[in-house]
Each structure stands twice: as C-alpha cells, then as structure tokens.
C-alpha cells in the first residue's frame, strides 16, 4: 500500500484488486479455496466484494451456503473494522485485538488473537495497527549501517551489548549483537533469537524494555533496544548495601507491574531475577524495565510447559521438579527478588547446585531472625503469598498488585537509618545461586525431563 496508514481505512477495501479478493476468499479455507478463482475471473475487486449479497454470490456460482456465509461474515467484519478505526481519534485509541475478541463467543490466548489480526491485515488489504505490526518491514543490512557503535555495556554467552547512537536522529540506544555461528548451529541460534524477537515486538509497556527494531544478516542478528543508563537492580542493591523497606516497595511496584502486563498478554518470562531489572537512572524513583526475553514463552492453545529453565536460585519448585507449570512460576521468582531486597539474602542457600536444588524442592524458608525485625508484617505476608509452594495457591499477578503492602505508605520503623536496613549477603551473586536451572540436574527419583 503506497500511502500507508494515512489512507482512510474504510476506503482501503475498495483498492483490493480481483487477485487480492481471490487470495482472501482462498484464505477462508475449505470449499472456499476451490471457488476463489471465480472472483479473479469475474474481476470482483474490493469495492464490489463489500456490496455483494447472498443472491449475488449465488449468481457468481457459489452454490455452497456455508461458503457464502463465510464470505458474507468476512466482509461484514472488514466493514466493522474499517468503521471502528475511522471513528477513533488516533491509532493509539484503536485496539484491534479487543475488537476481534467481541466477534464471537470464543476465548484464545493473546498470541492467537494477534495471529488472527495479522491474517486479516494480510488478506484484506486493510492497513490496521496491531501488536507487532510496526515490525512488518525491517531495514536491510547490518545495524552498523544505521548506528554508530560506542562502548560495550554488557557481555554474555549470547554476544555483546553496545551503547549506540542513531546516525540520523542522534538518539542513544543499546544494540544487542548476537553472532549466529556456522551451519546447523546458526539455524538453531537464529530460531531461538527470532522467538525472543517475536515476544518483544508485541510488548508495549513502560516497565518492559522496548525493542526499537532489529537487523538480520547472514552472520548475526542485532536487536536495537532502548538504552538504560542506570545499573541492574542487583548491582544497585549491592552498591547501596541494602534497601530500606520504602525503597524496596518503590522498586517492587514497578517489578510487579511488568509481570502483570506480561501475564495479561499470556507471556511467561521464566527468568525473572534482580539482574534482569534495569534502571533508567540512579534516582530512587527511577523507572525500571524487565529485560532479557531469551527464555520467555508466548502461551497458545494446548501449550504445556514442563522444560526446566531459568536461574536456579530464582526457580519455582514445580519447574525444578519437571512438573507442569504456568505463568505463576514468575510469581515465585518475584518472591525471591522481594525476599532478597527486604532482608539482604535469598530464601534458599546451598553450597552446591544439588544442595540448593533440594532446598528449593523442600520449600522450607524462614522469615525469622534479626534481619526481619524491621520489616513490616504486611511485607512479610506478601513474601509468603509469593513463595506459596502450591502454584495454585500462589498469588497471581493481579493479586500482587492488590496486596495492601503496595498501597501502604506508612512503614513502621522504615526510615533512611542505615541500622534499620539488612546488609547484603554475597550469596545472591555466587555462581551456584546464579547457575542455569537445566544444568543443575541429577534428576530426582521419578523425574522425567520433557521439552
């Protein structure tokens, strides 16, 4: 479409060619595929399609009533989409997914609705924004064609993160540059990275890191992300040698909002930890974003999660035991984060991976001791709710946001007094606590590991 989104959407179907109409009818499936060529042969364009009646379709030779109903329902939906979008004052006011949810008495996962949006846009010719539609066209070549690489701000097994500057706009961004490797490895690596991109491109929330664009070449994939000048939350905690309860609350509200948003669009992060929360700056009211979606998963119909993954010290017991798990594994991880922020050390500490794993599976932790004397009862109650062993009894993301502690601004004994903060143990930085969950396995008796 030459003019893009500036064109009134109610006029867009009229610009569908007979070939476009034929392809759209074919996309309806079943017997519709067999008669789709009739529309091209009879030169039925988009304008004509919108005005067809049941009798008109019969006259064209569409004898199957079910196919006629499919076509008529489809055209009505196109009209509804066009009218609703035209009535909106701006693109941001229009929620295509929400509109589709109103079309029938069925319930899908968010990702299924997004795919329906994409199919409608592809085959109808309508230029309608939907989650991820900004990434339908990507710029060719490598990121260095468009961005100037500055210093390295992060390294990992995946590759490197550079601070970069847009050559055209001078905006500062971060570039996560990941080499693909060679031959068969390259295919596997690229598939994993594209899965991460697939998740990030539908996310739009102030507490979720923003994917700006990405570049794909033969040798590497580069993700251009918003740049956060502050450190990650664990580094901040260590630099301060502990948070006050009020400061922990300020940060935790944003952490909980990030998880709530992801769960509302059926995304499970699976690696929620202090290291993955990045601060925009050094202030106490700095914006926090959740980053690193390499292990995240977009839930769809009939999905079953069993594969153990994540960071061992933050991993829920059901994940470690290779049982079925769901969105609430992130809630457990959020509980570990809050535990460390409030008392300075993790709920489970082991000298080896096997020992730490067994402690988490046992599920025994304590809120006793001097470290918890200055922590309010409300905060302790929330920790217990987050670290509930039974995932069905564990708080969901909405329950977390509704907890009284998040709206309680009068913390007993909570001041900036250093003596009333717990000093940070280095356990949260040790290699055992931060080891990959799936590498810790000497399976428990009866365990079966399944992808």
- Rounded Cα–Cα distance for residues 281 and 326 (Å): 33
Q: How many CB atoms lie within 10 A of CB 241?
A: 12
DSSP symbol at 270: S
Q: Give the whole-angstrom CA distance, residue 330 versus residue 347.
A: 16
Catalytic residue selected from 112, 271, 330, 414: 271
Run of H or E including 264 = helix 245-264
Q: How far is CA 385 from CA 23, 146, 185, in A?
A: 52, 47, 42
Classify burial at 318, counting beta carbons within 10 Å of its beta carbon; exposed 0-12, middle 13-18, buried 19 or more. Answer: buried
- 271 among known catalytic residues: yes
Q: ∠ CA(263), CA(153), CA(429), 5° rounding?
A: 65
Give the contacts of 432 (CB within 8 A, at least 6 positions apart): 312, 313, 350, 351, 352, 353, 356
With contact defined as beta carbons under 8 Å apart, do 200 and 249 qualify? no
Distances (CA, A) of 420 to 81, 242, 447: 57, 10, 44
Q: What are phi and psi of 294, to 5 degrees?
A: -65, -25
User: % helix / strand / coil in the chain, to the nearest 5?
Assistant: 45, 10, 40
Question: What is the C-alpha separation between 244 and 412, in angstroms, rounded?
Answer: 11
What is the Cα–Cα distance from 342 to 403, expressed in whole angstroms? 16
Q: Please report how many Cα atoms fall inside a 13 Å half-sphere around the Cα of residue 131, on the Cβ side.
A: 23
Q: How many CB atoms are closer than 10 A to CB 106?
A: 8
In contact, 309 and 438? CB cutoff 8 Å? yes
Report how far residue 23's alpha carbon sits from residue 40's, in angstroms, rounded to the nearest whole number. Answer: 9
Helix segments in 28-162, DSSP class H: 32-35, 37-41, 46-51, 54-59, 65-87, 96-101, 110-124
Q: Which residues pair with 268 in a beta bridge?
A: 297
3 state DSSP class of 167: coil
Q: How far apart are CA 152 and CA 159, in angstroms?
A: 11
Residues designated as active site: 271
């Amino acid at each position: 479409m030459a003019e893009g989104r500036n064109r009134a959407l109610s006029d867009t179907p009229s610009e569908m060619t007979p070939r476009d109409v034929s392809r759209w009818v074919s996309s309806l499936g079943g017997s519709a595929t067999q008669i789709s060529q009739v529309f091209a042969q009879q030169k039925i364009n988009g304008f004509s399609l919108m005005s067809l009646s049941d009798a008109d379709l019969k006259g064209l030779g569409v004898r199957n009533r079910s196919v006629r109903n499919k076509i008529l329902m489809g055209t009505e939906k196109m009209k509804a989409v066009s009218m609703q979008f035209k009535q909106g004052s701006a693109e941001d006011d229009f929620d295509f997914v929400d509109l589709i949810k109103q079309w029938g008495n069925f319930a899908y996962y968010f990702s299924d609705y997004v795919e329906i949006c994409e199919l409608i846009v592809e085959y109808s010719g309508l230029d309608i924004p939907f989650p991820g539609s900004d990434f339908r066209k990507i710029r060719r070549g490598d990121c260095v064609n468009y961005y100037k690489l500055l210093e390295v701000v992060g390294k990992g097994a995946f590759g490197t993160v550079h601070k970069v500057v847009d050559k055209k706009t001078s905006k500062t961004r971060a570039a996560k540059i990941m080499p693909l490797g060679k031959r068969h490895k390259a295919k596997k690596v690229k598939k994993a990275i594209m899965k991460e991109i697939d998740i990030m491109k539908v996310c739009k929330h102030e507490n979720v890191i923003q994917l700006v664009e990405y570049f794909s070449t033969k040798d590497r994939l580069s993700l251009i992300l918003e740049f956060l000048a502050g450190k990650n939350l664990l580094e901040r905690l260590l630099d301060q040698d502990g948070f006050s309860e009020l400061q922990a609350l300020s940060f935790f509200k944003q952490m909980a909002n990030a998880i709530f948003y992801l769960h509302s669009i059926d995304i499970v992060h699976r690696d929620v930890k202090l290291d993955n929360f990045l601060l925009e700056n050094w202030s106490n009211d700095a914006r926090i974003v959740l980053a690193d979606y390499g292990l995240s998963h977009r839930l769809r119909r009939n999905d079953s999660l069993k594969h153990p993954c994540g960071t061992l010290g933050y991993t829920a017991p059901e994940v470690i035991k290779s049982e079925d798990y769901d969105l609430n594994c992130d809630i457990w991880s959020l509980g570990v984060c809050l535990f460390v922020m409030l008392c300075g050390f993790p709920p489970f500490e082991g000298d080896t991976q096997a020992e730490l794993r067994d402690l988490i599976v046992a599920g025994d932790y304590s809120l006793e001791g001097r470290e918890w004397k200055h922590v309010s009862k409300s905060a302790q109650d929330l920790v217990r709710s987050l670290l509930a062993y039974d995932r069905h009894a564990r708080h969901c993301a909405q329950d977390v946001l509704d907890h009284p502690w998040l709206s309680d601004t009068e913390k007993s004994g909570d001041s900036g007094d250093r003596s009333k903060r717990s000093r940070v143990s280095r356990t949260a930085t040790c290699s055992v606590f931060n080891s990959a969950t799936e590498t810790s396995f000497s399976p428990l008796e009866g365990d079966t590991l399944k992808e």
